Amino acid sequence: MSRRLGGILAVFLAFFALSLGFLPASALCHCQLPCGIYDDPLRFKEMEESIATIEMAMKQVQALQKQGPEAAPQLIRWVANKEEHAKKVQQIVAEYFLTQRIKPAAPGNEEARKAYLQQIETLHQILVAAMKTRQSTNLDDADILRKLVDRFKQVYGKQ
């Protein structure tokens, strides 16, 4: 019984150690202190670069799938890269825009409320589109994500 538990623990620790390699070395988004130092254009640039990387990874995965088993190591690396960049987009949306930059409209200000709802809806669509790029190699999904980020730039309007 003790040997079995030791083996399970060893497998768990190995898996845990390997999974740490996929965590970012530093935080992607701005701190969550009320410092007031924000760089919206930088966040949009980061999302655009991540989308370009996702698109490149999708193309590489599609090409490598045709090469057979010998391409598996590179294929795995491109899939992981695609996942990492889709997650970056999701983190910027959730940890920067939704929690720090988008503020609810004041009661009674119907125009501001309409703008707020449009921003929230677009950010939610970005989260879903980024999830879809993680699930597939369909280049249309990357294009939809890019268009949604462009749309959010327009409805956000604070650049």
**Rounded CA gap, 13 and 23, in Å?**
16
Domain count, the chain: 1
Is 56 a residue whose pLDDT tops 60? yes
- Asked if the structure places residue 1 within a domain, the reply is no
User: pLDDT of 115-141, one tens digit each?
Assistant: 999 999 999 999 999 999 999 999 999
Taking CA atoms, 159 is separated from 51, 149, 154, 155, in Å, by 19, 13, 9, 11
- Asked if the structure places residue 15 within a domain, the reply is no
Residue 7 burial (10 A CB sphere; 0-12, 13-18, 19+): exposed
Strand extents, DSSP E, 1-125:
none
Domain range enclosing 57: 40-156
CATH number at residue 73: 1.20.120.400
**Rounded CA gap, 110 and 118, in Å?**
12
pLDDT value at position 38?
86
pLDDT value at position 37?
79
* Percent of the chain surpassing pLDDT 70: 77
Is 152 a residue whose pLDDT tops 80? yes
- Asked if the structure places residue 7 within a domain, the reply is no
- Asked if the structure places residue 116 within a domain, the reply is yes
CB-CB contact of 54 with 142 (8 Å):
yes
Packing angle of the helix pair 40-65, 139-156 (nearest 10 deg):
170
> What pTM, to 2 d.p., does this model score?
0.79
User: pLDDT of 108-118, one tens digit each?
Assistant: 999 999 999 99
